[in-house]
Amino acid sequence: MKSVADLGDLSGKRVLIRNDFNVPLDADKNITDDGRIRAALPTLNQLRDAGARIVIMAHLGRPKGEVNPKYSLAPVAKRLGELLGTDVKFASDVVGDSATAVVDSLQDGEVALLENVRYEPGEESKDEAERTELAKKYAAFGDIFVSDGFGVVHRKQASVYDVAKLLPSAAGSLVAKEVGVLKQLTESPERPYVVVLGGAKVADKLSVIDNLLKVADTLVIGGGMLFTFLKAQGHDIGTSLVDDANLETCRGYLEQAKAEGKVILLPVDVRVADGADFEGLKAIGDVEVVSADAIPADKMGLDIGPESEKLFAAAIREAKTVFWNGPMGVFEIKEFSDGTLAVAKALTEVGGLSVVGGGDSAAAVRALGFADEEFGHISTGGGASLEFLEGKELPGISVLEENN
């Protein structure tokens, strides 16, 4: 892939850049985590310093091809301007009169942000011709395209994939760094290599487990998915989340790991309650710690227990390479945040490369008070990083490699 440095003199050139500004907002449209905006700053400042006229494409939420003020990027434009220390011109549409006027008004070193690209039905269309038609409108705003939104490179969308075929293209520093780190995880990890997987559903991680069992030394399993593994071992799991359709698959992974001298590390104890109030963010009933092989029939497992925290942390601290994706419990509820907190803390103590795999994991470490600098790398793309680790081709990356 070409880098921004390979593009030559950018002074006066219009650079169309795809960023990932899909940030969380509260009810008052205040940004609650600006990590993805901060991650975009190095490339944007590089382009500003080069005298480029910068036109940013981004999305927020899932407006599904319709204009919806709930998903406006206006709060992002404001926060981006604060972080850049300059005015960010905001277009109130994507490819309409406002966008045209804003782009035409740009001077060297200035920055514009177009409204949410997902307001356009062609952006996520399965019809290549429809996407290409929209991509041509995007391309009219730029002389060069830079891809720097890693969180969307696994999507074949107009602002990610199709526009890259219409303009000279390069990867921004964020995308280049993400790909470099993930290649290290899959091709040349320093050992011991530990992968920590959590989150709710086993089905979401099957392909990752399948691929990483080939390269990792230890797989640590937490989150809601752990209960399917426990049930696969023959344990009762009470009312805990379970994926019965994949019990046999999990049983097969346990047997495969044993046969190949790998370790699948499961919790030895769990925190249980009658349930959880996800809207009120509180436990339902008293929280108890029970052995992982003795979960009461009327209780739900909602976090790993204190002995499991020690077990998992020890495995992580001994590693030279760690990749983590998915919380250990319902971390948004205080009573079930300790497992995720313990894993995050252990990652900050790794002597080698520690990678937080985006998505809920990145949100968790920030919500729990950790600084980005305490980890080797925090990915900006949970889905993209997982698909890379599954061995899938990422369209937004392959198109940059093909157009070199």
On average, the pLDDT of the chain sits at 95
pTM above 0.75, yes or no: yes
What integer is the mean pLDDT of 24-28? 92
Query: CB–CB of 257/263 below 8 Å?
Result: yes
Task: Please give the domain boundaries of the chain with CATH numbers for all domains.
Answer: 4-172 (3.40.50.1260), 183-390 (3.40.50.1260)
36 is in an annotated binding site: yes
Binding residue per annotation — 167? Answer: no
Higher pLDDT, 202 or 377: 377
Tokens of 82: 């604060």
Estimate the share of the chain in helix, then strand, then coil, as percent rounded to the nearest 5: 40, 15, 40
Answer yes or no: is 118 a known binding residue: yes
Task: Judge whether 62 is annotated as a binding position.
Answer: yes
Confidence of residue 383 (pLDDT cuts 50, 70, 90): confident
360: annotated binding-site residue? yes
Model confidence over 91-144: pLDDT tens digits?
999 999 999 999 999 999 999 999 999 999 999 999 999 999 999 999 999 999
* CB neighbourhood size of 102 (10 A): 21
Q: Which of 3-7, 113-117, 144-148, 197-201 has the lowest mean pLDDT?
A: 197-201
**Residue 312 pLDDT:** 98
Query: Is residue 178 marked as binding?
Result: no
**Is 361 annotated as contributing to ligand binding?**
yes
Is there a binding annotation on residue 274? no
Check pLDDT > 90 for residue 79.
Answer: yes
pLDDT above 70 coverage of the chain, percent: 100
- Reduce the DSSP state of residue 25 to 3 states and report it: strand
Q: What pLDDT, on a 0 to 100 scale, did the predictor assign at position 363?
A: 84
pLDDT of residue 404: 66
Does the annotation list 317 as a binding residue? no
Q: Give mean pLDDT, residues 376-396.
A: 90
Q: What is the pLDDT of residue 320?
A: 97
Q: What is the pLDDT of residues 271-305, one digit of tens each?
A: 999 999 999 999 999 999 999 999 999 999 999 99
Mean pLDDT (whole number) for 146-160: 97
Question: Strands across the sheet with 263-265, in order?
Answer: 263-265, 218-221, 193-197, 321-325, 353-356, 377-378
User: For position 367, what pLDDT does the model report?
Assistant: 87
Rounded to whole angstroms, how far apart are CA atoms 201 and 231?
A: 14
| Active site (catalytic) residues | 36, 201, 359, 383
How many Å apart are CA 113 and CA 102, to the nearest integer? 9
pLDDT band at 359 (very low <50, low <70, confident <90, very high): confident
pLDDT tens digits for 220-247? Answer: 999 999 999 999 999 999 999 999 999 9
Is the pLDDT higher at 69 or at 208? Answer: 69
pLDDT higher than 70, residue 189:
yes
Q: Which of 286, 294, 246 is nearest to 267 (CA)?
A: 294
